[in-house]
């Protein structure tokens, strides 16, 4: 087995490069999104009627429940150097893990440094705010000078519709650079996150995907709740792929039953195995590379009849082709 994890985050809270210099506290973050008081046994949630007196206690309980379900250890804070060293060690630890793709790393500059220091092992995306006036120039610099391989955009954080003509120079730039754009759609941040926003639905990118048919577009997390919309988008736009990353806990708040098996089956039926990319959405330590997500996804693919060749496409070849990845000579 060989694997490219096409969707991970450097362990840092800053997930959009806002164009401002890195703050003094950056590089030491990533808290996995929940407050320390939510740690199991910390009190608060679960005692008496916390949801009546303190509604946010429910959110803490939900976030802690997700981590407990996967038996994840509590997150630790790491420095930039430590985060880099730990991710490098993860690739040594899992011999099948050939490369990881940092879709965010606290800024394009640091993402470029990471990729340059670990050629053939770390790949990275630009992740600056697409509403910055010089967003196209930043993208060109990040790719041509910084060696970045793609562009990550959090759609529910973009205030104008993605189809707004003011974004055209940015899409033109991406298309001429030949890089993929990964757009997060759907709820952001799990319980308590953003569930409604002008760009939350994957169909928000439909017009752009049609007008820029040579931009490879990746919709992560199987569409993160928007399964119908993502399948329709993929059906209408052959330049759209999906990734499988994350715990996909959104399956829990669907109005009908969804399983990893049903997702792998349905997406293969609709668009085939060549447009499905494996990812974990891993970030913080000591968890590191989330092998548990790989295990359940490999099993789901096997259970619904993916051949070994099809699994190799999803786990390795599709990302390798999209990102121009070549394994370094031994």
Tokens 């509403």 belong to residue: 131
CB of 149 to Zn ion, least distance (A): 16
CB of 7 to Zn ion, least distance (A): 6
Q: Can the peptide bond before residue 238 be classed as cis, meaning omega within 30 degrees of 0? A: no
From residue 202, give the alpha-carbon distance in Å to each of 68, 83, 113, 173, 177: 30, 32, 31, 21, 23
CB of 241 to Zn ion, least distance (A): 15
CB of 197 to Zn ion, least distance (A): 17
CB of 5 to Zn ion, least distance (A): 11
168-184 burial, b for 16+ CB within 10 Å, e for fewer? eebbebbbebebbbbbb
The site for Zn ion (CB under 5 A) is made up of 281
7 vs 45, beta carbon nearer Zn ion: 7
264 vs 284, beta carbon nearer Zn ion: 284
221 vs 268, beta carbon nearer Zn ion: 221
CB of 175 to Zn ion, least distance (A): 23
Cβ-closest position to Zn ion:
281
CB of 8 to Zn ion, least distance (A): 8
193 vs 238, beta carbon nearer Zn ion: 193
224 vs 240, beta carbon nearer Zn ion: 224
- Between CA 4 and CA 311 the distance in angstroms is 12
Q: C-alpha 296: how far from its chain's center?
A: 18
Total Cβ atoms within 10 A of residue 73: 11
61 vs 318, beta carbon nearer Zn ion: 318
CB of 292 to Zn ion, least distance (A): 16
- Between CA 77 and CA 29 the distance in angstroms is 5
Contact 9, 279 (CB under 8 A): no
Q: C-alpha 115: how far from its chain's center?
A: 17
The DSSP symbol for 159 reads S
Residues 6+ apart with CB under 8 A from 311: 1, 298, 301, 302
Edge to edge, the sheet with strand 3-9 lists 3-9, 97-104, 122-126, 150-154, 181-184, 217-219, 240-243, 276-277
45 vs 322, beta carbon nearer Zn ion: 322
146 vs 279, beta carbon nearer Zn ion: 279
């Amino acid at each position: 087995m060989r694997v490219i994890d096409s969707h991970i985050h450097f362990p840092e809270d800053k997930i959009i490069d806002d164009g401002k210099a890195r703050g003094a506290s950056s590089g030491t973050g990533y808290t996995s999104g929940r407050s320390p008081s939510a740690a199991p046994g910390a009190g608060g949630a679960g005692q008496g009627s916390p949801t009546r007196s303190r509604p946010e206690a429910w959110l803490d309980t939900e976030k802690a429940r997700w981590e407990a379900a996967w038996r994840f250890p509590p997150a630790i804070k790491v420095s930039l150097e430590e985060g880099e060293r730990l991710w490098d060690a993860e690739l040594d630890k899992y011999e099948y893990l050939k490369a990881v793709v940092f879709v965010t790393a606290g800024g394009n500059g640091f993402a470029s440094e990471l990729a340059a220091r670990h050629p053939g092992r770390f790949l990275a995306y630009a992740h600056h705010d697409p509403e910055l006036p010089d967003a196209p120039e930043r993208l060109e610099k990040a790719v041509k000078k910084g060696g970045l391989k793609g562009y990550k955009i959090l759609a529910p954080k973009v205030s104008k519709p993605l189809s707004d003509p003011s974004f055209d120079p940015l899409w033109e730039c991406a298309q001429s650079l030949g890089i993929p754009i990964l757009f997060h759609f759907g709820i952001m941040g799990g319980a308590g996150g953003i569930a409604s926003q002008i760009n939350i639905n994957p169909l928000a990118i439909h017009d752009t995907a049609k007008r820029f048919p040579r931009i490879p577009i990746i919709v992560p997390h199987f569409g993160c709740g928007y399964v119908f919309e993502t399948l329709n988008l993929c059906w209408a736009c052959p330049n759209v792929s999906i990734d499988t990353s994350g715990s996909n806990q959104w399956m829990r708040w669907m109005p009908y039953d969804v399983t990893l098996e049903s997702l792998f089956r349905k997406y293969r039926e609709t668009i085939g195995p060549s447009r499905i990319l494996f990812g974990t959405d891993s970030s913080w330590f000591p968890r590191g590379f989330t092998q548990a997500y790989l295990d359940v996804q490999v099993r789901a693919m096997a259970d619904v009849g993916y051949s070994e060749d099809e699994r190799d496409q999803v786990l390795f070849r599709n990302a390798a082709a999209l990102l121009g990845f070549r394994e370094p000579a031994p």
